[in-house]
Amino acid sequence: MAEKGAGTPQPALPVMRDIIGASKVEQLFGIDGSGVVIAVMDTGVDYGHPDLQDALAWLIKTTEGREIIASSVSLAGTALQYKTLRGQTASIPLSQVASLEPLVLDADESQALLLWPVTASGGYLPVSGQVFYVIDGTDIYAVTATCNYAVAGLTSRSAEYKFSMTNLYIPWYGGYVNVGVVMYDPDQPGVYTAARVDINRNCNFADDPELRYFGNRLIVDNPAAPTVSLGVAGGYFYDWGLWFDVYAKFYPGWDLAGNYLSIFYDFHSHGTACSSVAAGRGKATYNLGYLGPQRLRGIAPGAKVLGVKGLWWGMVEPGMMWAAGFDVNQDGQWYWTGQKRAHVISNSWGISTFIYDYAAFGYDFESAVINALAAPGFLDRNYPGHCDCPRRRQRRLRLRHNHKSRRRSRRHNRRSRHKRTLLARLRKAVLRLPLG
């Protein structure tokens, strides 16, 4: 920990909680962020960290087109049981579940594995020397398997496993991590609800933790005390219209047919640090010098974190749109789903060498997107906006604007019409994000 002066520690998270009053608010009113989802636009989030494992939420999409954000999920016979963000228990028949994914988004599409069918021979997948492919934005990487992988004890009802290799860039593990991944169908032939990643790199899947579509998605060697964490299996990713369709679209990361699997991870650690400050659970202990051993609880330790990876390729705009509750329909057009996926969108990043404001401050495309998302009713008449203004205040602002408009001169009205034309063009530009 950095120090300032003789024996005076710099403010650390425990101190900052007291300075801004977060500790007092939690103590007096019991407010700790529970029921709130914070989207962190950054380098990704390592949910394998003990302080963030419980910060991972789920997105349930129903066959009726509804979206349910859950704090946890579990199988209960023929139903999916879940807890709401407020802690209430509910359930939905599996027949009404269209998809289930961790509430994360890889807007950069940085790790979409393409899996190929392989038949086991003598308890091994004979893949040594074969090439497998990983989609990374506009690129596709070829990764060669260097061994045959043992699958003893992994039941495949169809006798056909799906296999690929990772190409994860994680500097603290030595750079690019290339390990085998297998998906299999233990319950119903052709429905791939289980997967394993060769975390310990011994070419044997039998001793790796099992990942389940309706259960654990954390790719860690030991959840209680992880030493290796490679990300989250599944979650959503944003295909740019290059690989899966002719237009850009959001896809669930776990394909039940076993054709692809997206892995959400942090390539830099900055997104994980920001998420910990926002909603760290305070389970791990750190030695902070003069402060002694400390558990680093975040400002809102009860909140959930929606990790958005947008700084690998820079796809932050569609990431913010998705977190705000927008999506892309079958015609490739943006639309408001009727529900925010995050209550707060955090952008703790910047590139100092970029020049955004060519014309004037606030007229760059990045500012236009953020302003559009903040304003109620701009991108969609029913969109409430990401604004902390009370609804009554928003309505008063609109009414006041309308009353003043009636008193304007004819010349001023012409200017207003011109302004509305420009705003309409801006709205169309924002809603055509996939074309950019």
Interval 42-86: pLDDT, tens: 999 999 999 999 999 999 999 999 999 999 999 999 999 999 999
Paired strand residues for 295 = 285
Question: 47: Cβ–Cβ under 8 A, 6 or more apart, which residues?
Answer: 53, 55, 56, 102, 104, 218, 229, 231, 232, 307
Taking a C-beta distance cutoff of 8 angstroms, is the pair 239, 109 a contact?
yes
Q: Give the tens place of pLDDT for each residue, 160-208.
A: 999 999 999 999 999 999 999 999 999 999 999 999 999 999 999 999 9
Q: Quote the tokens at residue 232.
A: 């989250």
pLDDT at 433 over 60: no
**Torsion sign across C-alpha atoms 216, 221, 227, 230:** negative
Residue range 310-319: average pLDDT? 93
The pLDDT, as a whole number, for residue 289 is 79
Measure the CA–CA gap between 56 and 104, rounded to whole angstroms: 8
pLDDT at 421 over 70: no
Residue range 98-105: average pLDDT? 98
Determine what percent of the chain is predicted with pLDDT higher than 90.
75
Domains in the chain: boundaries: 111-264, 351-435
The pLDDT, as a whole number, for residue 40 is 97
The pLDDT, as a whole number, for residue 43 is 97
Helices (H) and strands (E) in the chain, counts: 7, 30
Mean confidence (pLDDT) of the chain? 88
Measure the CA–CA gap between 395 and 377, rounded to whole angstroms: 11
pLDDT at 330 over 90: no
The DSSP bridge pattern shows strands 344-347 and 37-42 to be parallel
The pLDDT, as a whole number, for residue 171 is 96
pTM score: 0.87
Measure the CA–CA gap between 281 and 277, rounded to whole angstroms: 10
The pLDDT, as a whole number, for residue 286 is 87
Question: 82: Cβ–Cβ under 8 A, 6 or more apart, which residues?
Answer: 58, 60, 68, 70, 71, 72, 73, 74, 89, 90, 91, 92
Q: Give the tens place of pLDDT for each residue, 365-418.
A: 788 889 999 999 999 999 999 865 444 434 333 333 333 334 444 444 444 554
Measure the CA–CA gap between 63 and 94, rounded to whole angstroms: 10
The pLDDT, as a whole number, for residue 219 is 98
Q: Which residue has the higher pLDDT, 16 or 141?
A: 141
The pLDDT, as a whole number, for residue 359 is 63
